[in-house]
A and B are shown apart, each in its own frame.
Chain A
């Protein structure tokens, strides 16, 4: 049936008119979908006046994989591999959030063994480092520094290797299950992980010398793309994006989920050291500092996993797996701190089947990207690249 009511097509017509007008008055420039600095398939339509960007119109959806449709036709356990593909750079964090929501609805979240919880946090923090390393490395390459990219990927490779050892897969792990884990950590993982931490710490110092304090890098990022705190909150920005604007808001501390209350860590925030608070450099610096905090958390997890929660021959990470995953009828919104920000899942269940009636994924990158037209008004085209890079979105999560 054709839709005839004009109010449903008014917005589309307005958009076409705007582009047609801009094509004669100004210039319309397409960035993407196949542009190296858009980090995936994102198309930015720029209305430019010379070198100045008058307006940015993001077009997303090139990587839409119907996550929500899949999630409402599959059981919870079957949906976990799909959550891995949301933010594919930090898959562990996605599964952790999803699984936590299901466990709370089932009421088994308090029965999960401590060792399982610590392993979950350990792999999540490892994955967070991996994700931030990509953010930093590719940000360098956007600005024109090639070396940090290679260094970051070299170090990330160790993390990928370790997580592959644990789960059998390099990026899309399906490791965290409802009620437990796929497997216990392989024998020798804790020692190998400790070696990595010792190896990686001096590498971070090197990386800071190369990029963080680099005058060219500072000139390209300081005072660029300033995101004021009120705008950040209004647009639902979260994670390093919100903390870069100076607010200490980290759901690991606010919600105190999993074993995070037992771990000691700081929440780095942007201070405007090189320019204005909330500029690109601040957002970059928050990620660098978060890597250090994640390393701290990993060490604490390893301490416990090697001492009081040591592996025992009879430990079964699948012992608490529920036979039937049927939560009672309710709506539940779970949120947790993914690598990019507040990752939320909203479940609607009918209490009768193992398949939810509606699942909504609240992706942090989706919200972080939505602020781009606001902060990119009136910047130079070259600076737009710096802003886009500093948002650090993953299109798998934006498009879902």
Chain B
């Protein structure tokens, strides 16, 4: 099933609002999805016998820069039976306040892969996933402050009183 057919399928199933846009300028096309629908969209794409996107390659948390204050998550799906790939993107504006992290629904219930990948996105870019079973930091220590892959991140000078050179 190609990109256009996947788009039609999603619109047919969830209505026209599910797709907020698309990126078709580069080599790989991406579908922009309504953030709240991502769980259902992934479930449908995985279970539908015409798409079978059963393999989640990766989840990337993205900070789109300090000018537009937008955070997003990029999903790379692959279908093993049909040997196709698909990129889904969701994004949201956020004021960068550490008490109000950008929050997206977790898709751990659909893909087991999402568990560690969402933890990584939370750890490095500070994106919160609603409904994640165990959203702790994964690569950095539990008491680390800040999210290093944010564009406004300032390198820590001390960690537990130890100077970082």
A residues bordering B, Cβ < 8 Å? 1, 3-5, 7-8, 11-12, 14-15, 60-61, 64, 66, 68-69, 72, 104-105, 231, 233-236, 247, 249, 254, 328-333, 335, 342, 344, 346, 348, 357-358, 360, 362, 366-367, 370-371, 374, 399-400
Contact = CB atoms under 8 A, between A and B. Distances in A.
A66 B123 CA distance: 12
Interface residues of B, number: 44
A8 B128 contact: yes
| Of listed A7, A15, A234, A374, residue having the most chain B CB within 10 A | A234
A346 B76 contact: yes
Contacts of A247: 80
Contacts of A68: 124, 149
Given A231-B112, A346-B60, A399-B139, A236 B76 contact: no
Contacts of A105: 27
Nearest to B136: A11
A8 B128 CA distance: 8
B149 to A, nearest CB: 6
B112 A358 contact: no
Contacts of A360: 58, 60
Given A233-B54, A331-B87, A366 B80 contact: no
Interface in B1-51: 23, 25-28, 30
B99 A4 contact: yes
B116 A11 contact: no
A331 B57 contact: no
Contact of A233 (B80, B83, B138): B80
A152 to B, nearest CB: 30
A104 B116 CA distance: 29
Interface of B: 23, 25-28, 30, 54-58, 60, 62-63, 65, 74, 76, 80, 83, 85, 87, 98-101, 111-113, 115-116, 124, 128, 132, 134-142, 148-149
B111 A234 contact: yes
A360 B124 CA distance: 11
Given A14-B134, A236-B56, A249-B80, A330 B26 contact: yes
Nearest to A237: B113
B57 A342 contact: yes
A239 to B, nearest CB: 13
Given A14-B134, A331-B74, A233 B55 contact: yes
A360 B25 CA distance: 20
Contacts of A8: 101, 128
A362 B58 contact: yes
A61 B138 contact: yes
B144 to A, nearest CB: 10
A64 B139 contact: yes
Contact of B28 (A64, A235, A331, A357): A331
A60 B100 CA distance: 27
Contacts of B148: 66, 69
Contact of B99 (A3, A14, A72): A3
A198 to B, nearest CB: 37
Contact of A374 (B25, B98, B99, B112): B112
B139 A61 contact: yes
Nearest to A105: B27
Contacts of B99: 1, 3-5
A250 to B, nearest CB: 12
Contact of A61 (B98, B134, B140): B140
Contact of B55 (A72, A236, A370, A371): A236
B60 A332 contact: no
A7 B103 CA distance: 11
11 contacts: A66-B148, A69-B148, A104-B27, A330-B28, A344-B57, A360-B58, A362-B58, A370-B112, A370-B113, A370-B115, A371-B112
A390 B93 CA distance: 43
Nearest to B139: A61
Contacts of B142: 12
A374 B112 CA distance: 10
A7 B136 CA distance: 11
Contacts of A342: 57
Nearest to B144: A61
Nearest to A399: B139
A66 to B, nearest CB: 7
Complex A-B, nearest 9 residue pairs according to Cβ-Cβ distance, in ascending order: A330-B26, A236-B113, A362-B58, A235-B112, A61-B139, A360-B60, A370-B116, A234-B112, A11-B135
B81 to A, nearest CB: 10
Contacts of A370: 112-113, 115-116
A367 B113 contact: yes
